[in-house]
Every structure is written in structure tokens, then in C-alpha cells.
């Protein structure tokens, strides 16, 4: 397995400002003979302090892709299943610090070609694209 991460602030109006823009990218490569996913990459941008008075909030937009491994595709072919390929997703999230000790994070993701193309429980048709809504909560005490 090989992976790399880049996470960098690229803009800040002044040293005293809580507002900033950051970018990130991650890439992972795995052995295709023993892992379901052989390659994945994601990247995005985030804005800290997006609104006046919300200095500890962050809004983010990200994209990612995962590639089914050669071993997984071979297994699919041998079993007669649809051969998996790429899965792509787009994500929009907002971290809101509602109290000094509490962060709420609504999240929306849209996934194209889930799991690279798998069938539903009947085995007769591919699973369609998916819209996913979530809510994370983090309490620090």
C-alpha cells in the first residue's frame, strides 16, 4: 500500500483573520490481487469562518474516485456478475460550532456508479446513483 496526503492553507486575508481557504488531496494505491479497491483519490477545498461571527465554522466541497482492483474485476467476470469499475462521489459539508464543546456537521454526498457497478439484492439490475444525507455530531468534554 502506498498513500500520500496534501493539506494546505492557500489563502488568508491577514494574519489576524480567522477566515482562510484550504485545499487537500489524498491518493492511495493498493495491491490489486488482494484488495477490492486498487486506487482511490479525493480532493477538495474548504473555507474556514465562512460568515461573520462564525469563526470556528467550516464549509467544504470535495470529490473522489475509487477504482475496483484487477482481482475484484476478475472475480466478477468469473462469477458472471457485472464487472465493477469506478465509483465517483461529490460531497458538500458544513461544520458548525454550536457551543464551545459541540460541533454539528450536516453532510450531503452524491455517488455515481456505487461500488463501481453492483447489482441490487435481486441480482437483476445495477444499483442506481445515490444521494446520501448525514449529520455528524462531536461533543468534547
Q: What is the pLDDT of residues 102-122, one digit of tens each?
A: 999 999 999 999 988 888 888
Domain ranges of the chain: 2-139
Q: Which of 9, 1, 75 is nearest to 40 (CA)?
A: 1
Q: For 23-55, what is each residue's pLDDT tens digit? A: 999 999 988 778 888 999 999 999 999 999 999
Closest alpha carbon to 36 in 89, 82, 76, 94? 76
The whole model's pTM is what? 0.86
Q: Which CATH architecture best describes the domain 2-139?
A: Beta Barrel (2.40)
Q: How far out from the chain centre does Cα 110 lie?
A: 10
Amino acid at each position: 500500500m502506498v498513500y500520500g496526503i496534501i493539506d494546505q492553507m492557500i489563502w488568508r486575508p491577514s494574519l489576524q483573520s480567522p477566515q482562510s481557504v484550504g485545499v487537500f488531496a489524498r491518493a492511495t494505491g493498493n495491491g490489486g490481487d488482494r484488495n477490492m479497491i486498487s486506487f482511490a483519490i479525493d480532493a477538495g477545498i474548504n473555507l474556514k469562518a465562512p460568515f461573520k461571527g462564525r469563526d470556528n465554522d467550516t464549509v467544504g466541497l470535495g470529490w473522489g474516485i475509487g477504482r475496483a482492483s484487477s482481482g475484484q474485476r476478475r472475480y466478477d467476470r468469473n462469477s458472471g456478475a457485472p464487472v465493477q469499475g469506478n465509483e465517483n462521489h461529490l460531497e458538500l459539508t458544513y461544520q458548525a460550532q454550536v457551543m464551545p464543546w459541540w460541533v454539528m456537521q450536516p453532510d450531503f454526498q452524491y455517488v455515481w456508479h456505487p461500488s463501481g457497478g453492483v447489482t441490487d439484492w435481486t441480482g437483476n439490475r445495477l444499483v442506481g446513483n445515490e444521494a446520501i444525507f448525514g449529520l455528524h455530531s462531536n461533543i468534547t468534554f
